[in-house]
Chain A
Amino acid sequence: MDTLLPVHDRGGPAQPLLLASGLRKHFPVPGGLLGRSGKVVRAVDDLSLSIAKGETLGVVGESGCGKSTVARLLVRLIRPDRGTVVLDGDPVDEPHGITVNELRRQVQMVFQDSFASLNPRLTIIETLAFAPKAHGVSTAEARQRSRDLLAKVGLEPGTFADRYPHELSGGQRQRVNIARALALQPRLVILDEAVSALDKSVEAQVLNMLVDLKTELGLTYLFISHDLNVVQYLSDRVLVMYLGKIVEIGAVDAIYGNPRHPYTRALLSALPSMDPRKRTKEAPIQGDPPNPIDPPSGCRFRTRCPFAEDVCARAEPALTDTGAQAVACHMSVPGSGHSKAA
């Protein structure tokens, strides 16, 4: 096979591009006898989400919330303990569905720019040609494609093809990371803190480019970031995670304009003020994000929540639809037993 065959849309616009149900991933904590200590890091617990074709779904959360684990589960770099992933109607890694390799042709990931996101021993063009060659494309064709990709991400092929990663700036490396993700012509691109390590002025350039590429290539994005401003700018819908669970999900204007979950509200008020006359007077919540090794019983946020009551320790709130968004909080569920519930 000389060229990559394009993958066709199968379900039409109404079918979600990606549907994840009940994903669970626990990591054993090393230590103790025989390398097992009995404790687990409950990174992701019973998580379900759907991504519509052509949308940008933003994922926000602080350290330990599990958003990077979700990204790796969706690309199958890690196998979930439980749960299913369905790509455009085809279940993944199941007898009647598509294989993991076929999933990888359609779902690709852009990593954060770190010194180890590109192989330091390979030239840029060798890095970009690697994936197509692994899928059977001839070397000559793969190299030509790589040059086209470089041009598409704004890096002049003649100059950059034979350079090494250490000779590029952070912004340039990130463009290469994006080009690498596009090499197999995927339909869904997962961006895991893809602009977080960049300077603000470079970040703006790269964001503009991401918007252009999405329109030009008909991509769908899952945009993971801790930067609430960038997520608001880029996303159509936003999902807020805390300790391995989704606490709120909805259209971007609903989440930012009328946040229902106490954690979402705290996150938004923790943003530094841009007005020196209206500085932040008090921190919205105290303490650090807790450890996912022993999450609190019931609602995981209750230890830092100003509105926590007994029911919050007893029962875990389910993600409930409240019109513009879905919230996992007893206060938003009528009849839950919380004093503030309708």
Chain B
Amino acid sequence: MVRVEGLTKRFGDVRAVNCVSFELRRGEIYGLLGPNGAGKTTTLSMLSGLLEPDDGRVLYEGLDLAADPLAVKQKLGIVPQEVALYEELSARENLRFWAGLYGLRGARLAARVDAVLDQVGLATRAAGPVRTFSGGMKRRLNLGLGLVHEPAVVMMDEPTAGIDPQARLNILDVVRRIAACGTTVLYTTHYLEEAETLCDRIGIMDHGRILAEGTLDQLKRMFGEGEIVTVRGAFDPERLRRLLQGLEGVRLLSATGERLVLEAAGEQAGAVRLLSLLLGGELQVDGVSIQPPSLSALFLRLTGRELRD
């Protein structure tokens, strides 16, 4: 459905997106997971035709975005991270305007507007000015504007950022329903639980690269079943390295003066030995946390930092 090949974008000396490649299949929800600044929005901007890549290309059903941007844009829906609405207009007027821009007319336009108002739960508030809406309602309308012309592919850039749990559930429900109807969804988020529960496949992105990609199960299998042990305290990095050298099944993922992230594999034997070492007073420890295998643990293993970092 959508093929991304070697997409690269530089801003000065910074490679915001570095040779990113992946594929989206029809009707799937593909989650692009990464912390702020990972390059998700830049990738999405290039896929939406808002930003020209320095290298690489994007193909929509074989159609090159760079060669025929208008034809590709016609098939795309975007749901930007910021709430991009006309606050003076009503929800219905907003939807009618955007549907019109994508060429919908007459009865089809009216039917789609009504359908989307129902879909996002705003049918009863359709005539009121958007400026009187709550944050959650605006988010839902923001989502609806990206769906009103029935695009084949929808790009959603953190559509649930900063809203209440109920509105979030509503949005996730809409995303599942459109995917079930055959719409392909590219969904960026830094909420692990959203990616875990919503997405069919996940690409983990950091520093402009996709570090790993697959279904949740595939990702877990790909990177083993070891626990992630995070230790907080005050450490001398050199001394620490010497101590860990003889410890079988323990791999240092990242280390700073205040925090260690380690992977302890092998049916908890490594973790037990590590804890014995820590409790033996060799190091000053203020806190320890052990995470079972999960997407969060996987992200930590791949990047050495948590998503909220």
**A and B: bona fide binding partners:** no
* Chain A residues close to B by CB (< 8 Å): none
